[in-house]
């Protein structure tokens, strides 16, 4: 019925019988005889078409006009067709039966199948739509047959999806599957997963990797929470984050006014999570700062970030422009709580020129401490501008960062004064499981910044250095405290570093710079390979 092939309708009209202690229905094939009674079990047939391999037929309607009574004679022994259906996939299926279990369906060569004729007559009397109103027609047909004193059959139906009473006939069959709607949203699996985790209780999250289809199947199987099915909760969160009109239409056709109100109240208290990337561009006639707000989890419904023009900047106005962008973000999210990670993309010359990542930033009616009030990380744009630097970074950084989580030894190597650059590089690229991940140094003790230049040139992804003068005791304490902290993954690290800074009394510790460039991290959409500065 649908040109895209997602819908399957199966009609069977013939003899049916019930047999065995489990009261299974069997449909008799036309070539059956009393001596060779060919038939197949109805439920096994239905399961076959909902197993994996039939996912393309996401909506299935079965109309079975056959008896469901015990008509076996002593000489009738079925020869079953054996199938081995696989595991069930996410398919909406409804089966209409001409009669209830134990009843006979009126069907003979003179008058034909009564249920089918009554159903067609009812459909003919209803207005023509793209999709016939099967649910209404079935109810009307069933009522007419029940009210007829000459009728001995009561039509019924069953379905295999949506255990909580949502209709699967009528409008829902005409709508696309949720999987098809989500496929129209240009997101990777990683963009969907925060919303899956919000809606899926921890006890139901599998230990291994989770694909989107499996996640949706898990969500469908869960009971409603405060009257809202978890699948609907997930869809609402994604719709608010993606602004997908197709998904919004799908939700509106599913949700009741009570569920809509419950979702609004629930999501209003949820905080959102986002990354604010501030990119200092010095490749044009005038330096400027561009910004992109990457919404990781829209929470209570923060709107997608609109493309805004870059803001001009000078050496003297960097902090002020940072503040303008931060104020724009706070104005954008309104009263919603936001867990914000700030990422500063700066050229090499600015990384050590000032403590931008721990600066005090002016806002409209307040001021904010980067690195403490908001987790902040540094990134170096030189890795993107120069082809050779970028190639080495792409080659070496992933292998180094893979050692980060669960590092058995100390992940931090502290560069000593006078240490040779080649020796430093060899320690990181040796391939040993205990090789370091982070490179640390004290520019005051070394009287140079060679370790930072080596890291950027040779593709070492993680560097830290102290900005204020520090004694040997402070450096020793710093290395001891960071030993376990630097073993955290790139997702956890920014927030943990912010908490760590708050507890420090020494300026040398509070102003430590952390540069972490992960080539696997998704860049904002406006900074594709072709639009990066000098890329």
Tell me the fold of 7-174: Rossmann fold (3.40.50)
Closest CA to 353 of 377, 318, 325: 318
Q: pLDDT tens across 204-223, in order?
A: 555 566 788 888 877 877 77
Q: Please give the C-alpha separations between residue 123 and each of 95, 127, 130, 156, in angstroms, as whole numbers.
A: 17, 8, 13, 17
Task: Say if residues 397 and 408 touch (Cβ distance below 8 Å).
Answer: no
Q: pLDDT tens across 182-197, in order?
A: 989 988 888 888 888 8
Q: pLDDT tens across 319-363, in order?
A: 999 999 999 998 888 877 788 999 999 999 999 999 999 999 998
* Highest mean pLDDT pick, 64-68, 91-95, 264-268, 513-517: 513-517
Sequence-distant (≥ 6) Cβ neighbours of residue 186 within 8 angstroms:
none
Is the pTM higher than 0.75?
no
Task: Say if residues 99 and 154 touch (Cβ distance below 8 Å).
Answer: yes
Structure tokens at 95: 């089966």
Write down the residue that tokens 């890329």 correspond to.
Answer: 535
Least confident range from 236-240, 300-304, 399-403: namely: 300-304
Least confident range from 156-170, 235-249, 254-268, 367-381: namely: 156-170
Sequence-distant (≥ 6) Cβ neighbours of residue 509 within 8 angstroms:
474, 477, 478, 481, 501
Q: pLDDT tens across 420-469, in order?
A: 878 888 889 887 878 899 999 988 887 788 899 999 999 999 999 998 88
Write down the residue that tokens 């100390």 correspond to.
Answer: 410
Using CB atoms within 10 Å of the CB of residue 24, give its burial: 0 to 12 exposed, 13 to 18 middle, 19+ buried.
middle
CA trace torsion 304, 305, 306, 311 (10° rounding):
180
What's the alpha-carbon Rg for the chain, to the nearest Å? 33
């Amino acid at each position: 019925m649908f040109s895209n092939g997602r819908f399957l309708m199966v009609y069977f009209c013939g003899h049916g019988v019930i047999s065995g202690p489990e009261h299974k229905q069997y449909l008799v094939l036309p070539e059956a005889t009393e001596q060779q009674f060919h038939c197949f079990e109805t439920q096994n047939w239905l399961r076959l078409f909902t197993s994996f391999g039939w996912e393309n037929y996401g909506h299935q309607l079965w109309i079975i006009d056959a008896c469901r009574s015990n008509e076996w004679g002593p000489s009738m022994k079925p020869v079953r067709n054996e199938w081995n259906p696989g595991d069930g996939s996410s398919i909406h299926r409804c089966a209409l039966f001409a009669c209830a279990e134990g009843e006979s369906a009126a069907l003979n060569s003179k008058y034909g199948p009564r249920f089918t004729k009554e159903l067609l007559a009812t459909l003919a009397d209803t207005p023509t739509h793209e999709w016939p109103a099967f649910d209404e027609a079935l109810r009307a047909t069933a009522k007419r047959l029940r009210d007829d004193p000459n009728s001995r059959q009561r039509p019924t139906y069953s379905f295999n999806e949506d255990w909580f009473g949502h209709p699967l006939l009528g409008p829902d069959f005409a709508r696309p599957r949720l999987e098809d709607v989500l496929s129209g949203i240009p997101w990777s699996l990683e963009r969907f997963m925060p919303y899956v985790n919000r809606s899926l209780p921890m006890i139901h999250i599998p230990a291994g990797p989770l694909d989107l289809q499996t996640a949706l199947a898990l969500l469908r199987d869960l009971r409603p929470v405060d009257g809202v099915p978890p699948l609907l909760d997930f869809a609402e969160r994604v719709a608010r984050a993606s602004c997908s009109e197709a998904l919004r239409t799908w939700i509106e056709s599913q949700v009741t006014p009570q569920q809509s109100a419950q979702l609004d109240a629930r999501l209003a208290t949820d905080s959102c999570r986002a990354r604010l990337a501030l990119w200092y561009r010095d490749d044009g006639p005038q330096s400027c700062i561009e910004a992109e707000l990457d919404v990781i989890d829209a929470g209570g419904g923060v709107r997608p970030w609109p493309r805004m023009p870059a803001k001009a900047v000078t050496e003297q106005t960097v902090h002020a422009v940072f503040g303008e962008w931060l104020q724009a973000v706070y104005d954008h999210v309104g009263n919603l709580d936001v867990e914000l990670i700030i990422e500063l993309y700066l050229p090499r010359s600015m990384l050590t020129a000032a403590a931008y990542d721990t600066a005090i930033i002016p806002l409209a009616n307040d001021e904010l401490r980067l690195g403490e009030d908001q987790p902040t990380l540094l990134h170096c744009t030189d890795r993107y501008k120069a082809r050779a630097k970028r190639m080495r970074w792409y080659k070496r950084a992933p292998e180094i960062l893979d050692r980060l989580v669960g590092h058995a030894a100390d992940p931090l190597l502290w560069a000593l004064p006078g240490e040779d650059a080649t020796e430093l590089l060899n320690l990181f690229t040796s391939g040993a499981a205990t090789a370091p991940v982070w490179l640390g140094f004290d520019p005051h003790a070394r009287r140079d910044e060679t370790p930072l230049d080596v890291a950027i040139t040779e593709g070492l992804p993680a560097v830290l250095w102290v900005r204020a003068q520090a004694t040997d005791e402070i450096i020793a304490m710093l290395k001891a405290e960071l030993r376990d902290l630097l073993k955290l993954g790139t997702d956890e690290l920014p927030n943990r570093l912010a908490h760590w800074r708050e507890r420090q009394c020494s300026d040398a510790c509070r102003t430590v710079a952390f540069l972490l460039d992960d080539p696997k991290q998704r860049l904002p959409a406006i900074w594709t390979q072709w639009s990066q500065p000098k890329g």
